[in-house]
Homo-oligomer: A and B are copies of this chain.
Amino acid sequence: MSTPDGGTDLHLDLPAGGARRTALAQALRDAVRSGRLAPGTRLPPYRTLAADLGLARNAVADAYAELVAEGWFTARQGSGTRVAEGAATAAAPSAATAPSSASPLHDLLQGKPDPASFPRSAWAASARRSLAAAPTEAFGPGDPRGRPELRRALAAYLSRARGVRTAPDNIVVCSGFANGLRLLASVRPRDWAVEAYGLPFHHGILESAGVRAHPVPVDEDGAVTTHLPARARTLLLTPAHQFPTGSRLLPARRAAAVDWARNTAGVIVEDDYDGEFRYDRKPVGAVQGLAPGHVVYAGSLSKSLSPAMRLGWLVLPDHLVDQVLAAKGLRESWASALDQLALADFIECGAYDRHVRRMRKRYHQRHDQVLSVLAAQAPHLRVTGIAAGFHAVLELPPGREAPALAAARAAGLALDGLSAYRHPAAPHPPREGLVIGYAALPDGAFARALHALSEVIRRVATP
């Protein structure tokens, strides 16, 4: 783990899924307790550990603060955070079983669809049918492009549902968006324009691939594509629903992005992570449809169905197909052929559309529930963005995010601050707010989480 400014190397093992900040704090305690982190050791900077673990920087900062508060760490201006002298012995006398209060009661972290809504029977039927109908060669080594059945089904579906214009031969199946982004980073020139707000995990992927990222400001009309960094040849966008601030890209800015790509031989990478989930109107089609020769459209199952299959796809302009396939390699890294066959059937028999419709209704209700709670508790605050996706952003005045997060943590809420999603190279001051994921919890737990959240907001967000 890299520590450019002098902190120790630190390998931590965190579970995926909810409660990662809590898990990080626990892992740090364990590391001190076991002696892996000796007294006096300087911890890695927040951003380093955050990038390594794929966490928001704030999550790491909070975990550090928590351990300072508990006496495990000391923090001094200018010398960073260190393991406290005598921490291991003092702080962990017996307590073997440990802080059960550590795991959050209410998981409102963004990015997760509802796992309980997975359509088990419909998927099982598709799996059974597609397994019986599969040609023999499907059980052999396989095509790095992905199964032709799936690429055909995707080309038709994406055309119909997202206005994507493509052919099966321009689609490369990959194991999720991150896998696709890494492939693209390896074939595109070094300078990328990225939205000033995005997933730190994605920023980290680009950074470790050697990409020089140039943040583009994001406002209520999406990324400001009218003035793009001169050196950039690739532009990473979330046009349907800016992540995480929630705006949609203004038509004029879509056009500006496409003009930029045409004039500079540039490529737009369109991350359509939740494009099917718009609640106030019919979803707007993909930018890809405007300029198939200049846009890579990237999608995945991780939001629309489940991240469990590790299935995603890149829709590529002709000139990138061979490059991406060469980067992918011929002998590995393609996703499960059985899941691909099942998904092709699942799309073609209409089950995918039915699932998306069902979830759109469910998430729409959740979205409205969040809005009404926020409107009641904090009418002076603003929820940004369009009615879409899996999370809402409650903007906070400067200086209010940190106390709000601390109060949320104290109330057993797991959620992120907006500032954690700001690209570290973005020049503008961070916007503050709460990013509230509303898709994953079961109804009862969600109601309780919303109640706890509303209490927190009432207390800390009152002017």
Q: Could you list which residues of chain A lie within 8 angstroms of chain B, going by C-beta atoms?
A: 1, 11-18, 20, 51-55, 112, 115-116, 118, 120, 123-124, 127-128, 130-144, 148-149, 152, 175-176, 178-179, 201, 306-311, 321-323, 325-326, 329-339, 341, 344-345, 348-349, 440
Please state the number of chain copies in the assembly: 2
With contacts A115-B136, A176-B332, A336-B335 known, is A344 near B13, CB below 8 A? no
Closest chain-B Cβ to A309's Cβ sits at a distance in Å of: 5
Check A330–B54 contact: CB distance below 8 A: yes
Check B332–A178 contact: CB distance below 8 A: yes
User: What B residues does A309 contact at CB under 8 A?
Assistant: 336-338
Check B330–A16 contact: CB distance below 8 A: yes
Q: Give the residue of B11, B52, B127, B349 whose beta carbon is less than 8 angstroms from that of A127.
A: B127
Q: A1-B136, A54-B136, A124-B132 are in contact. List 7 more A-B contacts (CB 8 A).
A: A12-B322, A14-B330, A17-B137, A17-B344, A17-B348, A54-B135, A128-B128
Check B140–A333 contact: CB distance below 8 A: no
A123 to B127, CA, bound (A): 10
Closest chain-B Cβ to A322's Cβ sits at a distance in Å of: 5
User: What B residues does A339 contact at CB under 8 A?
Assistant: 336, 338-339
A184 to B408, CA, bound (A): 40
Check B13–A139 contact: CB distance below 8 A: no
With contacts A11-B326, A308-B139 known, is A16 near B149, CB below 8 A? yes
Check A132–B54 contact: CB distance below 8 A: yes
Chain B residue at minimum C-beta to C-beta distance from A349: B17
Chain B residue at minimum C-beta to C-beta distance from A138: B308
Q: List 18 A-B contacts (CB under 8 A).
A: A13-B322, A14-B330, A16-B149, A16-B331, A54-B136, A54-B330, A112-B141, A123-B131, A127-B127, A127-B131, A138-B308, A140-B440, A141-B307, A175-B333, A308-B336, A308-B338, A309-B336, A310-B332
